[in-house]
Structure 1
Amino acid sequence: MPQKTKETPMMQQYLDMKKENPDAFLLYRVGDFYEMFYDDAIKGSQILELTLTSRNKKADDDIPMCGVPHRAIQGYIDTLVDKGYKVAICDQLEDPKLAEGMVKRGITRIVTPGTVMDESANTATENNYITSIVYEKNRFGLAYADLSTGEVKVTSVNNSMDLMNELQNLSTKESVVSKSFPQKYADPIKRLGIIVSTIEELDDNFTYDYSRITEELQVTTVKTLISYLMETQMRSLDHLKSAETYKTTAYLSMDHTAQSNLELFKNLRTNKKSGTLLWLLDETKTAMGGRLLKQWLSRPLLNQSELEKRQHILQVFMDNYFQRLSFQDYLTKVYDLERLAGRVAYGTVNGRDLIQLKTSLEQVPKIKEILLDIGDYDLNSYVEQIDEVSDVRDLIEKAVVDEPPISITGGGVIKEGYNEQLDKYTDASKNGKKWIAELRAHEQEVTGISNLKIGYNKVFGYYIEVTKSNIEKVPEGRYTRKQTLTNAERYITPELKDKESLILEAEDKSQALEHQLFADIRKSVKEQIRRIQALANILSQLDVLQSFAVISETYHYVAPKFVDGHSLNIVNGRHPVVEKVLSNNSYIPNDVFFDDKTDILLITGPNMSGKSTYMRQMALTVIMAQIGCFVPAESATMPIFDHIFTRIGAADDLISGDSTFMVEMREANDALKNATKNSLIIFDEIGRGTATYDGMALAQAIIEYIDKHVKAMTMFSTHYHELTELESQLPGVKNVHVDASEEDGTLVFLHKVLSGPADKSYGIHVAKLAGLPEEVLSRADTILSSLEDTAPKHIKVEEVKSKPVVESTSSDVEKINDSANEESQLSLFPEVGVTPKKLNKGERKVVTELQNQDLMGVTPIDAINLLYKWQKELK
């Protein structure tokens, strides 16, 4: 940029503001446009597809610039913020007509990804959380807020892994930290695509209710967040609720990977809501109910009495069908009370917003009447908390017209009869315009000019317009020429100018008074924000519960029964999402059974047979039960789980640079370290990311560790059929398999889970279904027969001694692999006392080659070829 001494006063003002906001696009108001200059203009023109021009085209210090109309500014701000940028808005702080010298300007708001007040139809049921993080004594404070709804919550976690998981679960776009926040923790946050904003100092001048927070670390964390919001928003934030503390351990815990694997919120294939559990459960009628449903789904409960209360209300809604329909009808007319309250406090509410608020409040008495008519005790406890906020409803009904304009500055918002002075101004304006119309008719009659017009513009005010062909009819002395046009002349008269003054004075005073009246109404509503937010909270809870009732009734779900102990019995359970997608009653239900002695279901069966669906079905049933919904089963008895761990699918961790197998081992290690006997573990094909015998050894060691130490309910699917021998050796292991059959050489999936192990994997049959060439399939059959003739027929627990995993690092995986190799790799041949001395010359040659072969250094296909060669030599 050029030296400041060369700049005009206006550009000097711009540079000073840009210096204060170096990390934001500065939109600088000049007349009817917001302009960008220098680097902002160059980059902004590319992002926003604007024409790049310059301020001083002929000068040596040419200044790049581009601009957008002030009326269209919001769309451009949204585009920049959606792409992860901050935007500083510089407005004119005084009327240019009244300014002496350069117009005063100032930053009126800084819009960031975490502070967008986005309320489009596509995001109505989404929260936009901004977070703050404070690091102190090896612990992290984490607070989050949704600026549009006023929600504020805070917690503390003991390690960076839990912190990163919570940030991902919140889908935050921006985190606020202090200058002293360690860079080693900030960098991984940035790699998640989260903007890390730094705040210089905390604001102690903002009055905020910290009474519900007892931990100093959490107080500092909330203060950090509030200070940043005050710094960027520069206006009242009275709608922010008192910060509510929570503990992640108070809910059924699921990390971000588990939520993703189970497709709670996003479909793994499309990355959209369709095909997820949220998609299935969402029959809410309000935007705030939709947001609450997602929050409940993120944090299922551990409190049995609260769950049973939700179940009871759900059943009440199911039992009262017609009242439920009426309740739903009224709910659909309730607008987003949380965000309406936010706009009131924020100062952006307009007349239409207030009519939406009034319409919503008009439904509340009807809703109360319907709920009281049902007559249930627990439901009435909700009804008793419903405040009709009738004073706000009545105020808006009395003050605001039914169909107000969007703008609050142009008049037409306040009802006639609300303010006597405003009515006088309105009457004067109306009568003046009536006088104008009468004057036009009179002048047409007196002059004989039938097309004589009376018009108005801001420059000349009211005028009489006469076409050139009628100029000779203009009365001399009474009309004064004011403007000449191509085809007409414009005149004024003393009477017209006098009436103009009265009309314009009435209009100006009317608009000013009306704007002040609207501000007073907004202030009165603002004083009742807490009541409106409390009403929104109750209605959103009831909305979610009626949604559960609709889903449970539609798909014939049942109320799960919660029991103490370590047993679970789901009879004819179904995968809720798959069942809905099929929609033709073709889903095959399956039982899931754990008794007090069973910790691990070892699941075998061919690919595509439904093993993964069966396990996900179990996890989704648990989640549905622990948010208070009924579940897809004929009956269900289960304990309350504290944690769900998953290891499903194959994916690299691009952020940390870990391989698929390392990710698999990290997730397995997380479960082994943190699961309790009250947890649910879902392991799908553990060990497949490495060599066959390494993988089998690891799988067995993990099963043994869970059986001996963890005791969590575990569903463990595998293609290692040798592991099914563990049922006879470990007391907590039980074999089940997904059934399939062969019909004329063709594999038929039956999707039915039965006791016992699968007889084989049917891998080649699946390859045939995929369309592999016949030559490949035939050769695979031959090799398979060879391998089955030489492979071990059984497996022993003592063959692989597992060691507990203590840290999630690459060295841990090496230790496990070393353990599996050193403490006896699975033998290729059964140990029957045969040694090289007892073999003939050819057999000794094969064994010698085998002993000298570097098995870890050959590819799978080379290993198969070696086996084939040795088999031929032995024969």
Structure 2
Amino acid sequence: MNDQPTPMMAQYLAIRDANPGALLFYRMGDFYEMFFDDAIAAAAALDIALTKRGTHQGEPIPMCGVPVHAAEGYLLTLIRKGFRVAIAEQMEDPAEAKKRGSKSVVARDVVRLVTPGTLTEEALLEARRHNFLAAFATVRDESALAWVDISTGAFQVMECPASRLAPELARLAPRELLAIDGAGLDDLASEAGAALTDLPASAFDSAAGARRLAALYGVETLDGFGSFSRSELSAMGAVVDYLDMTQKGKLPLLRPPVRERVGGAMQIDAATRRNLELTQALSGGREGSLLAAIDRTVTAAGARLLERRISAPSRDLAVIHARQDAVAGLVADARLSADLRDALARVPDMDRALSRLALDRGGPRDLTAIRSGLTQGAAIAERLPEDAPQVLRDAARDLTGHDGLIDLLDQALVAEPPLLARDGGFVAPDYDEDLDQTRRLRDEGRGVIAGMQADYSAKAGVSSLKIKHNNVLGYFIETTATHAEKMMAPPLNETFIHRQTTANQIRFTTVELSELETRILNARDRALEIERGIFDRLRGAILAQAAEIGQAARALAEIDLASAFADIATGEGWARPRVDDSRAFVIEGGRHPVVERALKRKADSFVANDCALTEGDTPAIWLLTGPNMAGKSTFLRQNALIAVLAQAGAFVPAKAAHIGMVSQLFSRVGAADDLARGRSTFMVEMVETAAILNQADDHALVILDEIGRGTATWDGLSIAWAVMEHLHAVNRCRALFATHYHEMTALTAKLEGVENATVAVREWDGEVIFLHEVRKGAADRSYGVQVARLAGLPASVVERAREVLDALESGEREGAARPAALIDDLPLFRAVPAAPAPAKAKESPLDARMKAVHPDTMSPREALDLIYELKSLTGEPR
């Protein structure tokens, strides 16, 4: 038996071995085929048929495939399921391989490695979210994190100690994380939802990284971009090296790297992001998050900018005030804001169109996206007044100066071009004389074909004769077998040359038709060749101004975000917050934007509440008590979200707000098991609380809910008590501390900066009514039994709970010696006995008679007689 693989299969195995860890899409005509284990894995992941092709080492070779034209959808499924895919294309025309001999194989090579962090196709990306590829590097005692979105060109880096890696990954939510092999970042990457890619240490060499970056930007030194540490160069170099490998030398259009200042943004850890549902709801997905509730942007770039601002609120007062000024300017001029939003709604995603063009994956519609974006940008710049706020003036400046490129694209492109350049038809008439002449020949040739068909039909005397075209025969004359007989007989056979016989048709050609076909086909190919050349020139003209186009795209996103913030401020009655460098935190009539939005859908209203955590410069903590379901957690979260919105540059859902700069935001609200790490709910709670106590500074804002509830009552109370004292004496931060340990309300008498607050309720006929109103003072009850009844516990369980609660409270008031004494005095719960089944009644004569009645077989007369009979059985007179 010959176990040697065929030449084609040998080629496949060689390419696959050169790209380990990736499924190989092997181009064969109009399909990408997969074989062996790749086929088995892909067929299961894509739910497609698994077939066989030939044998290898005596075993059938598994095979599956996907059409090239639909490959993007399959790629998306595979990437979402954690696969990497190597795309092997045919590098030559199959006809060239045939010329070399019957056993020659079409040359193929991998042109791209598709990974979660290197997507550029529109169908594979979420338009309103970034798709970050990140790299973490450590050089001696320094660490850094670099990240890039190749679909937009954004490239940033920051110093990042290992202790800060988890919060930064939570902020960025990268799709893929690069790390040195063996760095042990599997858990961190998994928590951030990123695919981890291990690279050799050589990929993180800082000196080589500096050389890669200098070559990428065509400079001798990187000093013009800023001063970077060795760890930052290492991380950035790893990103560029990985992109060079996955894109097979076609590097994306990356903007110069921006060094993010440590401490430039509010620090928010992963647990706090999750608890506050900033960009993603706890249930998963975007709906229900703060981002979804406030997103009124009308462009994809504006939506991505909003997510960045919410994920990393600024700590730069000048930046915050400038952004607020832009929002205030548009709030004051509703007409201008509406005009801007109308124009912005017609702005395409220039960043991603530019990236695809740079990678040579773009098409005619990407050219028109640049044209439309710049055209709308120029119109928007004209609408902005000269005395507009500085942010809007800067944006207007970046939107001007593109007239030459706009005119070029206007002249060259049709209004609605096709998707692919190879289809042609995207260049406007009268732009290129050579193209116009070639098109005329092509189009007139079609007219000649129609005239030729009429002539041949008349000459043969066959009215049904047609001239058709396919990719195998080219142009041919087709008629039925009946009519073909006379065309194959003299003298017509001198004109009509037989070419093919099918089941129902006979096909002919003529010398004249063959000559015309040659001229037409040459014209068609020549027209496509000219259009392709024009496409390349237009692409080059755009890439020559890539930096300026990128600036214009960012300016449009800035205007979009300012107008979106203005729209929600006007529509929802939000106020401009006063943000300064004090430690004040005073909110008047604050509301939770997500909850308020949900209540409006139900035609309900939200109860606004005040919050004043400081008096002068004295740090303050509110100790919040009150029943479950009353709104404590909502109150805690809404104040944290107001701080996020204020420092993001937005107006806030409140009548008024004074917010001293929040350096760190911590939230410990709710918890869940982390069984993979062997952590109970209580352990997770304690880990999160420890992080707060060890990190919070005097400008932090901390919200805590139910500390200590996962253990025994006195243990939990002790922990909560100690945490409160530590926040007050050591961290000296602003905090909202919700608890059901009413004993802690006594702390306000001992700690100067702690004040009691409670969520008001009202009792009526044994029922509890939640007022959702936060007031000064302390609660003395938690109303847990009432809430249990509302939740639907059986009435007998609720009644028993009241009985036990009354006994425990009575015993506590009367100084019971020990809980066991109370338990001993209470009779055990007894289930209510089931009601006895009723005795079986004796069958009455009426019932017996009715059983014998068959209505379907009775005549009207018999039915009437039956009625009289039944009346007599009841004792009534007839």
| Structure 2 length-normalised TM | 0.87
Asked if 2 retains the 8 angstrom alpha-carbon contact of 1:361 and 1:388, the reply is: no
2: CA distance, partners of 1:118 / 1:494: 47
In the other structure, the counterpart of 1:174 is 176
Partner of residue 6 from structure 1, selected from 4, 7, 12: 4
Q: Superposed, which structure 2 residues align to 1:602-641 within 5 Å?
A: 602-641=623-662
Question: 1:779 and 1:585 mapped to 2: Cα distance?
Answer: 35
8 A contact 1:566–1:595 mirrored in 2: no
Give the percent of matched residue pairs that are identical in Structure 1 and Structure 2.
35
TM-aligned CA deviation for residue 792 of structure 1: 8.8
Question: Residues 685-696 of structure 1: matches in 2 within 5 Å?
Answer: 685-696=706-717
Provide the C-alpha distance between the structure 2 equivalents of 1:782 and 1:435, rounded to a whole number of angstroms: 100
SS at match of 1:273: coil
Match of 2:663 in 1: 642
Alignment partner, residue 783 of structure 2: 762
Change in Cα spacing, 1:410 to 1:763, as seen in structure 2 (3 Å) is closer
Cα distance between partner residues in 2 of 1:772 and 1:532: 62
Matched residues in 1 for 2:484 and 2:741: separation? 104
Return the alpha-carbon distance in structure 2 between the equivalents of residues 866 and 242 of structure 1.
75
Q: Deviations over 1:338-388 (max 9, x none)?
A: 111111111111112222322222212221111127755663233223235
Q: In 2, distance between residues paired with 1:254 and 1:260?
A: 10
Which segment is superposed worse, 243-252 or 444-453?
444-453
Q: Which residue in 1 is equivalent to 2:246?
A: 232
Q: Partners of 2:185 and 2:361 in 1: how far apart?
A: 37
Aligned to 1:283: 296
- Equivalent position to 2:494, from 466, 477, 481: 477
Q: How far apart in 1 are the matches of 2:279 and 2:410? A: 40
Q: Distance in 2 between matches of 1:531 and 1:404?
A: 24
Is 1:194 aligned to residue 149 of structure 2?
no
**Aligned residue number for residue 394 of structure 1:** 407
Give me the whole-angstrom Cα distance separating, in 2, the residues matched to 1:555 and 1:599. 30
Q: Deviations over 1:538-558 (max 9, x none)?
A: 110111111010111111111
Work out the CA distance in 2 between the residues paired with 1:277 and 1:748. 28
CA 1:29–1:663 in 2, change beyond 3 Å: closer, same or farther? same
The structural deviation recorded for 1:601 is 0.5
Moved more, 166-175 or 384-393: 384-393
Q: Is the 8 A contact 1:235 1:346 kept in 2?
A: no
Alignment of 1:327-338 (within 5 A): 327-338=340-351
Q: What are the within-5 Å matches in structure 2 for residues 702-713 of structure 1?
A: 702-713=723-734
CA distance in 1 between partners of 2:581 and 2:493 (Å): 104
Which ranges in structure 2 are unaligned for 5 or more consecutive residues? Answer: 828-878
**AA partner of residue 243 (structure 1):** P
User: Structure 1 residues 720, 455: CA separation in 2 closer, same or farther (over 3 Å shift)?
Assistant: same
Moved more, 634-643 or 768-777: 768-777
User: Is 1:249 aligned to residue 263 of structure 2?
Assistant: yes
Which stretch has the larger CA shift, 565-574 or 220-229? Answer: 565-574
SS in 1 for 2:566: helix
Check the 8 A contact 2:760/2:770 in 1, yes or no: yes
Distance 1:486-1:761 versus aligned 2 partners, 3 A rule: closer
Give the distance between the partners of 1:431 and 1:730, measured in 2 at CA.
Answer: 93
The residue aligned with 2:85 is 87
Aligned residue in 2 for 1:661: 682
1:220 aligned residue (234, 239, 243):
234
Aligned-residue offset at 1:775? 4.0
* C-alpha spacing 1:671/1:138, structure 2 compared with 1 (3 Å): same
Per-residue Cα deviation, 1:644-669 (whole angstroms, up to 9, x for no partner): 11110131224433111111111111
Q: Quick one: structure 1 residues 367 and 58, their matched pair in 2 at CA, closer, same or farther if it must change by over 3 Å? A: closer
After the TM superposition, which of the residue ranges 711-720 and 402-411 deviates more from structure 2? 402-411
Which amino acid is 1:586 matched to? S
SS at match of 1:738: strand
Does the 8 A contact of 1:18 with 1:26 survive in 2?
A: yes
Distance (Å, rounded) in 1 between the aligned partners of 2:133 and 2:48: 30
Relative to structure 1, is the Cα distance of residues 776 and 73 closer, same or farther in structure 2, using a 3 angstrom cutoff?
Answer: closer
For these two proteins, the number of residue pairs brought into alignment is: 800
Q: Any residues of structure 2 matched to 1:819-834 within 5 Å, and which?
A: none
Q: Give the corresponding residue for 1:562.
A: 579
Tell whether 2:746 aligns with 1:725: yes
**Cα gap change, 1:336/1:868 in structure 2, threshold over 3 Å: closer, same or farther?**
same
> Take 1:865 and 1:772, find their aligned partners in 2: how far apart are those partners?
26
Q: Deviations over 1:114-144 (max 9, x none)?
A: 1122534982101111111112224432111
Find out whether 1:586 has 2:580 as its counterpart: no
- Cα 1:567–1:74, aligned 2, differ >3 Å: closer, same or farther? closer
For the residues of structure 1 that align with 2:451 and 2:514, how far apart are their CA atoms?
15
Q: CA deviation at 1:61?
A: 3.1
Deviation of 1:789 after TM superposition, in Å, equals: 4.7
1:431 aligns with 2:438: no
1:61 equivalenced with 2:59 (yes/no): yes
Is the counterpart of residue 419 in structure 1 residue 432 in structure 2? yes
- Is 441-450 or 722-731 further displaced after alignment? 441-450
Q: Is the 8 A contact 1:51 1:66 kept in 2?
A: yes
**Structure 1 range deviating more: 614-623 or 192-201:** 192-201
Instruction: Report Cα offsets for 1:446-493 as digits up to 9, x if no partner.
Output: 343322222223333323334333346532423322223344433222
User: 2:28 corresponds to which residue?
Assistant: 30
Residue type of the alignment partner of 2:514: K
Tell me, in whole angstroms, the C-alpha distance in 1 between the residues paired with 2:779 and 2:664: 29
> What is the match of residue 544 of structure 2?
527
Cα deviation, residue 781, structure 1:
3.5
Contact 2:120/2:355 (<8 A) preserved: no
Whole-angstrom CA distance in 2 between matches of 1:457 and 1:570:
74
* TM-score, scaled to structure 1: 0.87
- Stretch deviating more after TM superposition (736-745 or 272-281): 272-281
2:212 and 2:397 map into 1 onto residues whose CA distance is: 37
The residue matched to 1:638 in structure 2 has which SS? strand
Corresponding residue for residue 502 of structure 1 = 519
Residue 160 (structure 2) aligns with: 157
Moved more, 521-530 or 652-661: 652-661
> 1:558/1:22 Cα in 2 relative to 1: closer, same or farther (>3 Å)?
same
Which SS does the other structure have where 2:398 is aligned? coil
Q: Is the 8 A contact 2:212 2:240 kept in 1?
A: no
> 1:761-808, CA deviations, whole angstroms, 9 ceiling, x for partnerless residues?
222222233333444344433433443355499xxxxxxxxxxxxxxx
Deviations 1:172-209 (A, max 9, x none): 23211234x53x33454356553222334447556234
Cα distance in 2 for partners of 1:195, 1:604 equals 43
How many Å separate the matches in 1 of 2:717 and 2:165? 33
**In 2, are the aligned partners of 1:598 and 1:731 still within 8 Å (CA)?**
no
CA distance in 2, matches of 1:493, 1:770: 86
Q: Measure how far apart 1:109 and its partner are.
A: 0.6
C-alpha distance in structure 2 between counterparts of 1:135 and 1:113, whole Å: 23
The Cα of 1:568 is off from its aligned counterpart by: 2.6
Query: Does the alignment pair 1:323 with 2:331?
Result: no
Change (3 A) 1:494 1:774: closer
Could you give the per-residue CA deviations for residues 9-58 of structure 1, whole angstroms, max 9, x where no partner exists? 21111111111222111111122221111111112111112222222269
CA contact (8 A) 2:134 2:145 kept: yes
Deviations 1:573-626 (A, max 9, x none): 112221222114621111111213352111111111111111111111111111
Q: How does 1:286-365 map to 2 (within 5 A)?
A: 286-365=299-378
Q: Give, in angstroms, the shift of residue 146 of structure 1.
A: 1.1
With 206-215 and 534-543 compared, the bigger mean Cα shift is at 206-215
The 3-state SS of whatever aligns with 2:145 is strand
The residue number in structure 1 matching 2:830 is none
Q: Determine the C-alpha separation between the residues in 2 that align with 1:466 and 1:789.
A: 105
Structure 2: which amino acid aligns with 1:76? Y
Counterpart of 2:135? 132
Q: What's the C-alpha RMSD, in Å, of the aligned pairs?
A: 2.4
Assess, with a 3 A threshold, how the Cα gap between structure 1 residues 157 and 485 changes in structure 2: closer, same or farther.
closer
Shift of 1:523: 1.8
Per the alignment, residue 42 of structure 2 pairs with 44
Secondary structure of 2:34's aligned partner: strand
In 2: Cα distance, 1:61 partner to 1:128 partner:
42
